[in-house]
Amino acid sequence: MNKPLPIIFFSLLVLSCNSPEKKADSEAGDSKVSNFETTGSIERLNGSMDMLIPLDSKIEVIASGFDWSEGPLWLEDQQALIFTDVPENKIWKWSESDSLQVYLEPSGYFGSETNKREPGANGLILDEAGKLMLCQHGARQVAKMVSDISEPSPVFEVLADTYEGKKFNSPNDLVKSENGNLFFTDPPYGLDEWDVKELEFQGVYQLDFMGNLTLQIDSLSRPNGIGLSPDEKTLYVAQSDPLKARYYAFNLDENQNVSSGEMILDVSELVGEANPGLPDGMAVHSSGNLFASGPGGILIISPNGEHLGTIKTGRATSNCTFDTNEDYLYITADGELLRVRLK
């Protein structure tokens, strides 16, 4: 999902990394010092939260000024994070050493229309060869960037753009298994009024390592964020329907096809002005716990659906990802890029 409806987009005049006075972490016994302003709070509903997020962790605002940030992806070899600004049709790159710079433009739409609502790329991942794979809203396709991630260029190979001859709605988020099978969601958020919706459902698909496309789920009203359990036997999907704001777990068979599934958490009662946002992007921790965007920020959810706590950002929050060693969680939240230190 991108901005919750009704959607009002705006652009700030100044785009910069936030770097106010250094603020020491409040709890004694920790020597880490933050160079960034902090925001929000961390709600702990279960003691296991303390094993995931230190008691003295803060929510840092490390960059701001975007229209709607999405799709965070950590690049280990560059020690950098890339993320999308969907309405602006751009991908940004942030690093501790080089601050903020445009990484790729355009990212998801290559036509002549200038008033598209959400033209850019959304979800991002790397394939087994280290190539960037993108869900491209404007082009309504899943694609791979031809150039190396160290020398980005807006030239793409189309991986999938139709199902049974009908154009996708607007591929949103994606996850890849170790053997190369790709799963992605296809809600309608990237469609404009003049776009023709050719499919009658919002699907979850698998594009296997041989290039075969199969529809896995067609029963969800707004499938959005997607993730795999560490053992790759469970596929998690977030549903960004304000009336049915839910998280689902689907069992995968030996060929990684969906065999059964169930809702593991319904947060519809949390939806409202006090908790901006809906279930959206997610990241699955090596512990098996889900860090999933939802009402209020990032919800930490156990594999069986227990709500352990919330990183309360105070704004609609779209997605998150870990760095390689899970030292930090990076969060895209409305017009900002946030960071939380983990255990």
Percent of the chain with pLDDT over 70: 90
pLDDT tens column, 21-41: 333 333 333 445 678 999 999
Q: Quick check: is 299 in a domain?
A: yes
3-state secondary structure of 92: strand
Q: Quick check: is 99 in a domain?
A: yes
Q: Quick check: is 16 in a domain?
A: no
Q: Quick check: is 4 in a domain?
A: no
Rounded Cα gap, residues 157 and 72, in angstroms:
21
Q: What is the pTM of this model?
A: 0.91
**In the 8-state DSSP scheme, what is residue 67?**
S
pLDDT-based confidence at residue 195 (cuts at 50, 70, 90)? confident
How many domains does one find in the chain? 1
Q: Quick check: is 101 in a domain?
A: yes
pLDDT tens column, 219-275: 999 999 999 999 999 999 999 999 999 999 999 999 999 999 999 999 999 999 999
Find the domain containing 334 and state its range: 34-341
Q: Quick check: is 108 in a domain?
A: yes
Q: Quick check: is 6 in a domain?
A: no
What number is the average pLDDT over the span 92-96?
Answer: 96
- CATH number of the domain bearing residue 81: 2.120.10.30
Rounded Cα gap, residues 188 and 243, in angstroms:
17
Reference 312, options 69, 92, 99, 53; nearest CA is 53
Q: Quick check: is 23 in a domain?
A: no
Reference 110, options 68, 148, 153, 166; nearest CA is 153
Q: If you write DSSP's letter for every residue of 217-263 in order, what string do you get?
A: E---SSEEEEEE-TTS-EEEEEEEETTEEEEEEEEE-TTS-EEEEEE
